[in-house]
């Protein structure tokens, strides 16, 4: 249950790109039980280190990004309405009528309003609503709200992580705080497993903005192997191109961003331990931190494991927590398998 509690706390927390430091206390509370050392990077990245038996000779980095998409204040008009724009991949269609929190001098609650359908022309009704036509109404005058909110303040959707039936969970920012929880599950599994390499559990920054926040901790750690954990599309009904499905396993990626021998071994370990998985073919950019990790320093052999999530980049993402546990189990067995580089090519 620890992992599910962690996911709920992380999902409910404010951590839009550039604000990942808000998660540090929660991460420390959970990871310190199962690791030996914690480090905080200058950009807000968080690393928990679990020592192996090789006396630091080998290092494996497992990584997930902490940042979430969101909104940012760009203006306050004469009526006290807050105008905003998006940080990273927010879909404007999902915003009208949402409750929000403006993270100003204190938390300010509001709702996103738009023109009601009664006053729209037939032509306007056919168009997708623009973010320029939306405002946040906090029920204040310009003078009142200006004392609490300023241009550049961040805005999150006001919603709580909620348990659905069975092992399903819904909430915001499951992309990629589910990945962080898989790192936590891995750390728990490793308590009962021998591992040669030191393991670096990295919660990184600024993935959603594409700014490469994973690069500084990767450069500092300089791991022998890195495994990025992110989410993938888990709603098969949405597109014929989606092959993964929530509750039925994780996704392992193959392609030029992925080390071929390590990928073969990862899949073999999944088969040996009855961990179901889907295979994702990425012929180019994987759209994840694995892309940035691969070319740090002299190059880092990289893998990518993904957790299926439905309704990605909305405030009601859905996953099956069993998939998070499966990802953590696979990571732990892979880390336990690795002794030294001879294992990679002799396997």
DSSP-derived 3-state class of residue 175 = helix
Q: How far apart are CA 85 and CA 300, in angstroms?
A: 36
Q: How far apart are CA 21 and CA 39, in angstroms?
A: 12
Q: For 103, phi and psi rounded to 5 degrees?
A: -95, 75
- Encode burial over 153-176: b for 16+ CB neighbours within 10 A, e otherwise: bbbbbbbebeeeeebbbbbbbbbb
Catalytic positions are 207
For helices 174-190 and 2-12, give the axis angle rounded to 10 degrees: 150
Q: Going edge to edge, which strands form the sheet with 37-40?
A: 37-40, 46-50, 198-204, 59-65, 225-233, 302-309, 250-254, 277-281
65 annotated as ligand-binding = yes
Q: How far apart are CA 125 and CA 128, in angstroms?
A: 8
Q: How far apart are CA 168 and CA 270, in angstroms?
A: 23
230 annotated as ligand-binding = yes
What tokens does 155 get? 């805005």
175 annotated as ligand-binding = yes
Please enumerate, by residue number, every residue annotated as part of a binding site for Zn(2+). 65, 175, 208, 230, 313
Please enumerate, by residue number, every residue annotated as part of a binding site. 65, 175, 208, 230, 313
């Amino acid at each position: 249950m620890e992992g599910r509690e962690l996911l709920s706390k992380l999902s409910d927390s404010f951590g839009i790109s550039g604000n990942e430091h808000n998660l540090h206390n929660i991460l420390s509370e959970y990871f310190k039980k199962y690791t030996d050392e914690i480090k905080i990077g200058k950009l807000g990245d968080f690393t928990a280190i679990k020592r192996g038996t090789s006396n630091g000779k080998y290092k494996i980095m497992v990584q997930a990004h902490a940042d979430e998409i969101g909104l940012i204040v760009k203006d306050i008009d004469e009526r006290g309405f807050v105008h905003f724009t998006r940080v990273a991949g927010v879909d404007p269609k999902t915003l009208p009528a949402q409750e929000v929190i403006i993270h100003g001098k204190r938390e300010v609650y509001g709702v996103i309003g738009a023109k009601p359908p009664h006053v729209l022309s037939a032509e306007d009704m056919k168009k997708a609503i623009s973010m320029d036509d939306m405002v946040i109404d906090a029920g204040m005058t310009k003078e009142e709200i200006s004392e609490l909110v300023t241009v550049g303040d961040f805005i999150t959707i006001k919603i709580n992580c909620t348990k659905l039936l069975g092992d399903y969970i819904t909430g915001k920012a499951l992309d990629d705080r589910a990945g962080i929880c898989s790192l936590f599950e891995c750390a728990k599994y490793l308590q009962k497993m021998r591992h040669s390499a030191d393991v670096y559990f990295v919660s990184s920054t600024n993935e959603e903005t594409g700014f490469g926040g994973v690069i500084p901790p990767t450069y500092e750690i300089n791991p022998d192997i890195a495994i990025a954990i992110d989410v993938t599309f888990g709603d098969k009904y949405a597109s014929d191109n989606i092959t993964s499905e929530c509750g039925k396993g994780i996704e392992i990626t193959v392609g030029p961003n992925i080390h071929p021998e390590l990928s073969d071994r990862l899949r073999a370990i999944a088969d040996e331990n009855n961990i179901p998985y889907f295979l994702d073919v990425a012929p180019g950019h994987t759209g994840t931190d694995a892309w940035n990790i691969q070319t740090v320093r002299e190059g880092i052999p990289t893998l990518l494991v993904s957790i299926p999530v439905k309704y990605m980049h909305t405030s009601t993402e859905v996953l099956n927590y069993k998939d998070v546990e499966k990802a953590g189990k696979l990571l732990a067995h892979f880390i336990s398998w690795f002794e030294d580089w001879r294992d990679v090519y002799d396997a």
